[in-house]
């Protein structure tokens, strides 16, 4: 069985966000957070704000075009969700001038946030006001204009939970999430399931034992596709327009309540094809055939045809020089972003 570990390492490198997008994701949110901390017309409470979303969780792939910010608003649950979002929007209307960027940013209200689009950077921010009864990394409440009520959520608690789960499974859960997101982007140009739904599906099947972190990423991906299809097959077979429930990893509420049936059906067809191709790749005794099967899943541009140079680079990854990234991959060079550790130098006791 060819698990093609080095091939998958190269694939993951190729879908990492580029440096200019990482720079935008680092700089723009910090400016907005500083602005809100000092905004008199939208009072906030310590710790004022925090990053959330896939950028915070290191699960983003490709261009980072949006970042979520949770703002700890100085309001109670008796405050109108609609008026809270409206007041936040009024405060943020002054943001472009305050940053010296008039006409540079578009500010508008969304259902549960205020959305800002920075045209020059092609970058989006979702600013989410929240009522935080305890600590900001515990359960909090965000406003929903359409429902007219505050919705329980725990985005920062989930960040911590995912980090712990990833560590428990050898640093392979975050890479698996990235593979699933890229598979979605490559195979589904429209009718895409939301990124957070995909993360929740990965977490659900890891926690329930359908996916084992002791296996290779190739095997984990195959098992995940098979598990998702088996779990949702009864709903897929119905003709009453039903869609399945995806449980939130922290609160267990249904997060896919607005999944359209046609979108769900498209997703299931792609999942079935992915499971079949992954199984084919892992069962063949021909390495070239295994590579071709994975290329059908992830594309020839991203999944390498051969990894001889990558293998040579790894051979240079000697103790004391090599680094291990936060997602568990060894490199002869230190990563430019994210968490990593440097392997410890060793003493040589053999012959010179």
Q: What pLDDT score was predicted for residue 312? A: 60
Q: What pLDDT score was predicted for residue 352? A: 30
Residues 337 and 279 in one domain: no
pLDDT higher than threshold 90 for residue 321:
no
Quick: pLDDT tens for 40-83: 999 999 999 999 999 999 999 998 888 999 999 999 999 999 99
Q: What pLDDT score was predicted for residue 96? A: 85
Domain termination site, one of 134, 153, 172: 153
Confidence grade of residue 136 (pLDDT, cut at 50, 70, 90): confident
Residues 208 and 266 in one domain: yes
Residues 112 and 93 in one domain: yes
Specify if 41 maps to a domain.
yes
Residues 125 and 214 in one domain: no
Specify if 132 maps to a domain.
yes
Average pLDDT over every residue of 108-136: 92
Domain count, the chain: 3
Specify if 9 maps to a domain.
no
Q: What pLDDT score was predicted for residue 313? A: 61
Write the secondary structure of the chain as one string of H (helix), E (strand) and C (coil): CCCCHHHHHHHHHHCCCCHHHHHHHHHHHHHHHHHHHCCCCCCEEEEEEEEEHHHHHCCCCCCCCEEEEEEEECCCCCCCHHHHHHHHHHHHCCHHHHCCCCCCEEEEECCCCEEEEEHHHCEEEEEEEEECCCCCCCCEEEEECCCCEEEEECHHHHHHHHHHHHHHCCCCHHHHHHHHHHHHHHHCCCCCCCHHHHHHHHHHHHHCCCCCCCCCHHHHHHHHHHHHHHHHHHHHCCCCCCCCCCECCCCCCECCCCCCHHHHHHHHHHHHHHHHHHHHHHHCCCHHHHHHHHHHHHCCCCCCCCCHHHHHHHHCCCCCCCEEECCCCEECCCCCCCCEEECCCCCCCCCC
Residues 148 and 31 in one domain: yes
Residues 85 and 198 in one domain: no
Residues 31 and 142 in one domain: yes
Which strands sit side by side in the sheet containing 323-325, from one edge to the other?
Answer: 330-331, 323-325, 340-342
pLDDT higher than threshold 60 for residue 286:
yes
User: Vertex 293, ends 292 and 295: CA angle to 5°?
Assistant: 60
Predicted TM-score (pTM) of the model is: 0.86
Residues 31 and 148 in one domain: yes
Give the CATH number for residue 205: 1.10.1410
Specify if 333 maps to a domain.
yes
Residues 169 and 135 in one domain: no
Residues 337 and 242 in one domain: no
Domain with 334, as residue range(s), is 316-342
Residues 121 and 149 in one domain: yes
Residues 116 and 163 in one domain: no
Give the CATH number for residue 77: 3.30.460.90
């Amino acid at each position: 069985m060819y698990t093609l570990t080095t091939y998958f390492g190269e694939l993951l490198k190729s879908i990492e966000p580029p440096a200019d997008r990482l720079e935008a994701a680092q700089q723009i949110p910090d400016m907005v957070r500083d602005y809100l901390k000092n905004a008199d017309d939208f009072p906030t409470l310590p710790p004022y704000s925090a990053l959330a979303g896939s950028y915070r969780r290191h699960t983003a792939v490709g261009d980072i075009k949006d970042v979520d910010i949770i703002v700890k608003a100085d309001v109670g649950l008796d405050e109108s969700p609609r008026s809270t979002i409206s007041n936040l929007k009024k405060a943020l209307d002054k943001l472009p001038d305050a940053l010296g960027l008039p006409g540079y940013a578009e500010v508008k209200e969304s259902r549960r946030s205020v959305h800002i689009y920075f045209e020059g950077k092609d970058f989006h921010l979702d600013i989410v006001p929240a009522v935080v009864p305890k600590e900001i990394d515990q359960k909090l409440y965000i406003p929903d204009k359409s429902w007219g009520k505050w919705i329980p959520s725990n985005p920062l608690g989930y960040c911590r939970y995912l980090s712990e789960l990833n560590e428990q499974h050898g640093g392979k859960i975050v890479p698996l999430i990235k593979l699933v997101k890229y598979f979605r982007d490559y195979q589904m140009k429209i009718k895409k399931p939301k990124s957070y739904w995909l993360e929740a599906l990965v977490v659900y099947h890891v926690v329930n034992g359908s996916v084992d972190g002791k296996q290779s990423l190739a095997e984990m991906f195959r098992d995940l596709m098979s598990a998702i299809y088996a779990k949702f097959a009864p709903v897929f077979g119905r003709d009453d327009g039903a869609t399945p429930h995806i449980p939130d990893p922290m609160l267990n509420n249904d997060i896919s309540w607005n999944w359209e049936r046609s979108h769900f059906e498209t997703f299931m067809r792609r999942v079935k094809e992915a499971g079949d191709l992954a199984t084919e790749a892992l069962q063949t005794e021909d390495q070239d055939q295994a590579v071709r099967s994975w290329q059908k899943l992830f594309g020839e541009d991203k999944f390498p045809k051969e990894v001889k140079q990558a293998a040579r680079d790894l051979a240079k990854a000697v103790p004391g020089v090599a680094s291990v990234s936060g997602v568990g991959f060894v490199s002869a060079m230190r990563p430019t972003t994210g968490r990593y550790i440097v392997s410890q130098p060793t003493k040589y006791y053999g012959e010179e």
